[in-house]
């Protein structure tokens, strides 16, 4: 593996941190986006990863803000060089049954989970095409494949991500740029910690593997799809869900 530059949005979250560690173990230099550098001790996060031997950095960016993404891309280019690997991890949930869902919560979830992928990827795919190499991985969800109660907003955003990725794969393939999705099932992070205990237990009862997955399970899939020799895997979806939902 080479010292290619990887940008991971939401890289300091549960799944994002595991992805940064995997990419670092693969010899990549890693930059994550951070929404609010005042609120989170993001520099401590980067220092911790550097202590593990990973060349880790951060830039400020709210992925739902297109102009902020333009500025972030300039910042990344000037400080670190061209991004060759992009992993779109940033995401939120704002759950409610549709008949009770606030318009604001529909918009926030679409703006961050789906438009955020456009806002960020748009800034880097041109230079990937020029270089003749690029890897884009978008973190979707099993709930984008199957739908889920209380998640019309989230399921719509994640399902939209698949259409985006397949179209981008067709555009990028002639130029050595791949675009794939990874669809996690239920993974132990702050996102699933926020579930009521009863809901979490009911979900675990439905997972044939008998438990939720670990962030490292998702990171492993990302490492595979971003490898230099993974160039023919393009427009694919890789489910990582403990056999919760199987399809072909």
What residues make contact with ligand NDP under the rule CB under 6 A? 9-10, 12-16, 33-35, 40, 62-64, 89-92, 112, 139, 141, 184, 186-187, 189-192
**CB within 8 A of 56, min separation 6: which ones?**
20, 24, 30, 31, 32, 45, 46, 49, 50
**CB within 8 A of 63, min separation 6: which ones?**
9, 10, 33, 69, 88, 90, 112, 116, 117, 119, 120
C-alpha dihedral sign at 22, 189, 86, 73: negative
Q: Give me the catalytic one of 124, 133, 154, 186.
A: 154
Distances (CA, A) of 202 to 14, 186, 196, 215: 22, 12, 10, 20
- Select from 5, 3, 13, 10 the least CA-distant residue to 138: 10
Q: Measured from the CB atom, is 96 or 173 closer to ligand NDP?
A: 96
Q: Measured from the CB atom, is 11 or 133 closer to ligand NDP?
A: 11
- Residue 80 CB, shortest distance to ligand NDP, in Å, is 18
Query: If you count them, how many residues does the chain have?
Result: 248
- Residue 71 CB, shortest distance to ligand NDP, in Å, is 13
Q: Measured from the CB atom, is 9 or 178 closer to ligand NDP?
A: 9
Residue 195: count of CB within 10 angstroms of its CB: 15
Q: Measured from the CB atom, is 174 or 196 closer to ligand NDP?
A: 196
Q: Where are the alpha helices (DSSP H) in 85-140?
A: 103-109, 116-131
- Residue 7 CB, shortest distance to ligand NDP, in Å, is 12
Q: Measured from the CB atom, is 63 or 125 closer to ligand NDP?
A: 63
- Residue 217 CB, shortest distance to ligand NDP, in Å, is 11
- Residue 205 CB, shortest distance to ligand NDP, in Å, is 16
Catalytic residue check, 232: no
Residues that are catalytic: 154
């Amino acid at each position: 593996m080479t010292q290619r530059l990887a940008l991971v949005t939401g890289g300091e979250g549960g799944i994002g941190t595991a992805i940064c560690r995997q990419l670092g173990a693969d010899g990549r230099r890693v930059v994550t986006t951070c929404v609010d550098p005042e609120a989170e001790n993001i520099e401590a996060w980067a220092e911790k990863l550097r202590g593990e031997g990973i060349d880790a950095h951060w830039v400020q960016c709210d992925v739902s803000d297109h102009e902020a993404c333009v500025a972030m891309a300039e910042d990344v280019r000037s400080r670190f060089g061209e991004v060759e690997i992009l992993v779109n991890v940033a995401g939120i949930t704002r759950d409610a049954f549709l008949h009770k869902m606030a318009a604001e919560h529909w918009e926030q979830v679409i703006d961050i989970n789906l438009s955020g992928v456009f806002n960020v990827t748009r800034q880097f795919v041109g230079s990937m095409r020029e270089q003749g190499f690029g890897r884009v991985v978008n973190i979707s969800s099993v709930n984008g494949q199957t739908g889920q109660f209380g998640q019309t907003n989230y399921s719509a955003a994640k399902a939209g991500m698949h259409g985006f990725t397949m179209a981008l794969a067709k555009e990028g393939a002639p130029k050595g740029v791949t675009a794939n999705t990874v669809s996690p099932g239920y993974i132990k992070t702050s996102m699933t910690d926020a579930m009521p205990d009863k809901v979490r237990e009911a979900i675990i009862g439905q997972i044939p593997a008998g438990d939720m997955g670990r962030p490292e399970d998702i990171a492993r899939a990302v490492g595979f799809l971003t490898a230099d020799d993974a160039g023919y895997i393009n427009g694919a979806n890789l489910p990582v869900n403990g056999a919760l939902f199987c399809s072909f």
